[in-house]
């Protein structure tokens, strides 16, 4: 997938989602359970501009290899800097060997806490179900997600990671099982550890 293709996908996703992701349940670093009699300190999200996005080269290793019966294109990405802020994206496309019209794409975005890409519409999503498809909230590996289906064979899932990273998985000419296979192949905790 060329950088321009990733950029177009990234901008398209931006029209669909926005910020508002919840953090996953924290894991104590020292292994000691928190004292339930004490009020925990509020968790705050860093302000945009206080961190720089990781390089797209750090995102590429989280793009999985093709599952059995599929081929994978070369991973690609870009780190974009505008004025004094940056964001990064990396993506990879996949094709079903038996049915070349069946395609999957995975895109990972580091927003550096800016409302870019999928984070722009996240809070606008509503749960909806029709004979032609659905929008549903979900969780993946403890992170908030939205799943979309457009009949007959388009599926997508957007997973927000700590209000900073987003993973978008899309399936054209496929099934819900295909979507789940690709969604479950991504290391979300590893991505979260990047920032």
H/E stretch holding 159 reads strand 154-161
Q: Which two tokens stand for residue 169?
A: 């998985």
Cβ neighbours for 20, distance < 8 A, ≥ 6 positions apart: 122, 123, 160, 163
- For 17, the token pair is 């989602």
Once rounded to an integer, what is the mean pLDDT over residues 99-115? Answer: 91
Of 83 and 144, more confident: 144
Q: What is the pLDDT of residue 114?
A: 72
Hey, what are 108's tokens? 């990972």
Which segment of 23-27, 62-66, 122-126, 129-133 scores lowest on mean pLDDT? Answer: 23-27
**pTM for the structure as a whole:** 0.76
Mean pLDDT, residues 60-84 taken together: 95
Which residues face 150 on adjacent strands? 133, 154
Q: Where are the domains of the chain?
A: 3-21+48-192
Beta carbons of 177 and 121 less than 8 angstroms apart? no
- The pLDDT tens digits of the residues spanning 73-84 come to 999 999 998 887
Query: What pLDDT score does 119 carry?
Result: 66
pLDDT at 181 exceeding the cut of 80? yes
In this predicted structure, the answer to whether residue 20 has a pLDDT above a threshold of 80 is no
Q: In angstroms, rounded to a whole number, what is the distance separating the alpha carbons of residues 109 and 117?
A: 8
**98 Cα distance to chain centroid:** 27
- 41 pLDDT exceeds 60? no
Give residue 51's pLDDT. Answer: 84
pLDDT, average across residues 167-195: 96
Cα separation of the two ends of the chain: 25
Average pLDDT score over residue span 126-145: 93
pLDDT bin (cut points 50, 70, 90) of residue 43 is low
pLDDT for the residue 24: 39
Kindly tell me if the per-residue pLDDT of 39 is higher than 90. no
Please report the pLDDT score of residue 117 as a whole number: 62
| Maximum distance among all Cα pairs of the chain, rounded to whole angstroms | 58
Least confident of 36-40, 115-119, 133-137, 172-176: 36-40
- The correct CATH number of 3-21+48-192 out of 3.40.1000, 1.10.3470, 2.60.120, 3.40.50 is 3.40.1000
CA distance 178 to 37: 46
Pairwise pLDDT comparison (81 vs 190), residue with the higher score:
190
């Amino acid at each position: 997938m060329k950088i321009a293709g990733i950029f177009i996908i990234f901008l398209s996703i931006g029209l669909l989602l926005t910020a508002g992701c919840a953090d996953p349940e924290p894991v104590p670093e020292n292994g000691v359970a928190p004292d339930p009699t004490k009020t925990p300190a509020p968790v705050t999200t860093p302000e945009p501009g206080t961190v720089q996005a990781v390089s797209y080269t750090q995102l590429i290793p989280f793009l999985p290899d093709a599952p059995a019966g599929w081929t994978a294109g070369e991973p690609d990405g870009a780190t974009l800097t505008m004025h004094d802020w940056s964001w990064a994206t990396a993506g990879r496309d996949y094709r079903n060997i038996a049915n070349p019209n069946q395609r999957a794409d995975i895109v990972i975005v580091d927003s550096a806490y800016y409302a870019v890409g999928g984070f722009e519409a996240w809070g606008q999503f509503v749960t909806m179900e029709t004979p032609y498809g659905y929008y549903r909230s979900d969780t993946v590996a403890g992170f908030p997600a939205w799943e979309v289906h457009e009949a007959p064979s388009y599926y997508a899932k957007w997973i927000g990671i700590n209000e900073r990273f987003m993973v978008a998985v899309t399936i054209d000419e496929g099934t819900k099982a295909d979507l789940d296979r690709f969604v479950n192949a991504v290391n979300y905790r590893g991505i979260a550890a990047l920032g």
